[in-house]
Amino acid sequence: MKVAIQGVKGSFHHIVAEQYFGKNIDLVECLLFSEMPDKLIDNKADVLIMAIENSIAGAILPNYALIDEYQLNICGEHYLPIHHNLMGIKGQSIEDIKEVYSHPMALLQCRKFFKKHPHIKLIEDKDTAEVAKRIEEGNLMGVGAIASNLAAETYHLEILASEIQTINENATRFFILNNSNPDKSIVANKASIKFVANNDAGSLAEVLSIMANQGLNLTKIQSMPIIDTPWKYAFFVDFIFNDYSLYSSAMEEIKDKVVTLKILGEYSKSKR
């Protein structure tokens, strides 16, 4: 199976790919999330793994936009505990590190640690593991990366400080995506939808009431501006259900109460 990830070997996306599909996969590396949908279109990947939200930093809104724009189907989800480590070329100490490059999310999640080390300049970069790879290839002294244990092993770097995330209970949710119709052989108990509510007072509350009355357990709601219609919003909603027929009935009811409704995916709920 060809699995496209954001980042390179050793990244958190790589870890998710192996946990979800096993190690016998063909990894397709993409430095940018925006590169990923084209891998499906060009048949260079069978599935995509895309981070969608972090328990500290919140939702990754551009990825919701990509899923919507490219008509991607959510066929699974995976939660990964995030353990950040500061690493560099072997033989150095934290005092030797002058610059740390990492993904903005990683920098945000480790803010408290770096307040204790004000001599280190923090610089945003595209990917955690790609920085680790660059440090090894260039033998860059005085430069650090924030990345996983797997990245340190892959690129032969020394961990100078482990578990540097501000909050220990730090996890990221990832979507497994393809461009196929939902697989009816999967026993789905979770779904993701997008809808645009009417302008009438209480229209959003009416939609949520339908979900509650049909036994759907709302797990997330995320609003996002509709780019070509100022001050109008779409809602992305995730929910769990026990009875597929009640879920279908709820969707039929909601369809008549909103401007548009799109099923983004039906899949099996992942354990946190």
**DSSP character string of 174-220:** EEEEESSPP-TTS---EEEEEEEE-SSTTHHHHHHHHHHHTT-EEEE
Q: Return residue ranges of the chain for CATH 3.30.70.260.
A: 190-266
Domain 85-161 classification at class level: alpha beta
Q: The domain 190-266 is classified under which CATH number: 3.30.70.260, 2.60.40.150, 2.60.40.10, 3.40.50.300? A: 3.30.70.260
Q: How would you write the pLDDT of the chain (272 residues) with one tens digit per residue?
A: 999 999 999 999 999 999 999 999 999 999 899 999 999 999 999 999 999 999 888 899 999 999 999 999 999 999 999 999 999 999 999 999 999 999 898 999 999 999 999 999 999 998 999 999 999 999 999 999 999 999 999 999 999 999 999 998 889 999 999 998 766 667 899 999 999 998 788 899 999 999 999 999 999 999 998 888 888 889 999 999 999 999 999 999 999 999 999 999 999 999 76
What's the pTM? 0.91
Q: Return residue ranges of the chain for CATH 3.40.190.10.
A: 2-81+170-178, 85-161
Token pair in block for residue 248:
């279908």
> Rounded to whole angstroms, how far apart are CA atoms 117 and 89?
18
> Rounded to whole angstroms, how far apart are CA atoms 75 and 265?
6
Token pair in block for residue 270:
């992942």
* Contacts of residue 12, Cβ cutoff 8 Å, sequence gap at least 6: 51, 80, 82, 128, 129, 148, 172
- Expressed in percent and rounded to 5, the helix, strand and coil fractions of the chain are 30, 35, 35
> Rounded to whole angstroms, how far apart are CA atoms 146 and 132?
8
Domain 2-81+170-178 classification at class level: alpha beta
